[in-house]
Structure 1
Amino acid sequence: MTQTVNIRDAKAHLSRLVRRAAQGESFVIAKAGKPLARIVPIEQPALQARRVGFMAGQFSVPDDFDRMGRNEIEQRFNAGL
């Protein structure tokens, strides 16, 4: 059952109502007993799992990867010495 909240009470307790809505509750805000608005929780999208290793076997890393370009790098850094 949806709770009806008077607009004056909604103004006074807005942060509390928002917190309760975020936890799944819904509310109707009314003025003089006449419904004006419905407050409902927003459905949060499920977190997409990260796919680790989805390209496994599609490329290879050379054994000397950590040494590639070493001579050129040393030359550029030592050029001013």
Structure 2
Amino acid sequence: MTQANMHEAKSKLSQLAELAHQGERVVIAKAGKPYVDLIPHRNSTPRVPGGYSINMDAFDCADEEIESMFDFLEDE
């Protein structure tokens, strides 16, 4: 693990980024206490809309428990 204070991190950002990219844990400290972790960017697969199907039949009827919570409104 490598730890650098804010001032050092500003002047050595390229070196610290390279260490993080190689898999080393890099911590940037503020006032001597760990403040942020420097981690490499990870490419992720893009999200595709419509990847999940929804059973619309489940929305056709009200949940009895939830409906009973609103019964007091009818009494007023």
Judging by fraction of residues, say which structure has more helix.
2
Q: Which has the larger radius of gyration?
A: 1
